[in-house]
Amino acid sequence: MKLNTSLIEQKFVANGELGVVAVGFSGGQGKAGVDIGPAAMIESGLLTKLKEDLGYEVHHDDTVHSYKELTPESDPPFRGMKNPKTVSAVTRKISEQVYEHAKEGRTVLTLGGDHSIAIGTISGTAKAIRERLNRELAVIWVDAHTDINTPEGSDSGNVHGMPVSFLTGLAKEEREDVFGWLKSEHMLSLKKLVYIGLRDVDRFEKQVLRDHKFIANNRRHGIGKVMEMALGYIGTDTPIHLSFDVDALDPMWAPSTGTPVRGGLTLREGDFIAECVHESGSMVAMDLVEVNPCLDPGVDNIGSDETVRAGCSLVRCGLGESLL
């Protein structure tokens, strides 16, 4: 049995037990390359470091899933959504994969892939937490974008901008093959959602934020105060799913991502967010998404290498790495 090096006792999961789902999926948006993000992070040694440096017992099938077998022959737009049946089928499968780990009491790490996959990751975690602990799940969504567009409110039709709306019930669909598989056990309460890092919010999304009075923390408070506010709002008795889009970081630190926005978090601020969630003892799952090594604005792959390193750093901090 390996010795987990984190000194933080976890409240809702077994210490040192980590389930990993590697999701090579890009169908929630239009830019190729985000599907190879998980492989790039794994090839850089991420899982090895989690085992050897942090002492995790890693449960992984040694596969980066492409889900190509789930792609239908025909997938026309529906309600303005692009690839609706594909994204629905893939996220349903991801939900099942995450659930299988979470029901065993493991922390679940999902490497993406675009942020549409959070429909699967969060729904799977939420279902397991309800069954295993009879508790509601809280989500800390770290992102430059709110991703709470409804299909009708979206300008692009890309589902990676809609996962929060489907998870909270703001967007609903009865068709089983277009997210109708989402049931009450999969859902997230609007009162259990915290945003950090927002800076590129659509007009429709701004109205949603105002209407529902979301906790949307920003940097004017300083990152220490932001985390104090976020964790204080959630409380100490609620399991947390941390969903981290690498575009929350400033492009200086993570240039190789599909929708970079200037004015973002520093890498140290991102690491600090992940550290704080881990140190709360309440984290049950983490997503790291939107690393796209093919979108390299640098020379000799410097930009993509930096982004992969940043993603790996965020994961390690979320799973207990510290300076001491």
- Distance (Å, rounded) from C-alpha 317 to C-alpha 303? 21
Decide if 245 is catalytic: yes
pLDDT digits 0-9 by tens, 172-230: 999 999 999 999 999 999 999 999 999 999 888 888 888 876 665 566 778 999 999 99
Helix (H, G, I), strand (E, B), or coil: what is residue 52?
A: helix
Q: Looking at residue 210, what is its pLDDT? A: 83
Instruction: Reduce the DSSP state of residue 19 to 3 states and report it.
Output: strand
The catalytic residue among 35, 250, 271, 290 is 290
Q: Please tell me the distance from the alpha carbon of residue 248 to that of residue 264, in angstroms, as a whole number.
A: 6
What distance in Å separates the CA atoms of residue 269 and residue 273, rounded to the nearest whole number? 6
Query: What's the pTM value of the predicted model, to 2 decimals?
Result: 0.95
CB neighbour class for 30 (10 Å; exposed up to 12, middle 13-18, buried from 19): middle
Q: Taking residues 156-177, report their average pLDDT.
A: 97
Contacts for 75 with CB less than 8 Å, ≥ 6 apart? 83, 84, 85, 86
Q: Mark whether 145 is an active-site residue.
A: yes
Q: State the maximum Cα–Cα separation within the chain, in Å, rounded to a whole number.
A: 53
Q: What tokens were used for 183?
A: 């049931």
Q: How far apart are alpha carbons 159 and 179 in whole angstroms?
A: 11
- Among residues 75, 245, 250, 296, the one annotated as catalytic is 245
- Taking the domains of the chain in order of start, what are their residue ranges? 17-318
Catalytic choice (35, 75, 114, 145):
145
pLDDT score at 300: 60
Establish whether 101 is a catalytic residue. no
In angstroms, rounded to a whole number, what is the distance separating the alpha carbons of residues 229 and 91? 31
- Please determine, for residue 277, whether its predicted confidence score (pLDDT) is greater than 90: yes
CATH 2.60.40.1510 fits 17-318, yes or no: no
Choose, from 75, 247, 271, 275, the residue flagged as catalytic.
247
pLDDT tens digits, 93-118: 999 999 999 999 999 999 999 999 99
Q: Can you give the pLDDT at residue 219?
A: 62
β-sheet bridge partners, residue 196: 142, 217
Give CA–CA dist 195/222, Å, rounded. Answer: 15
List the beta bridge partners of residue 243.
141, 287
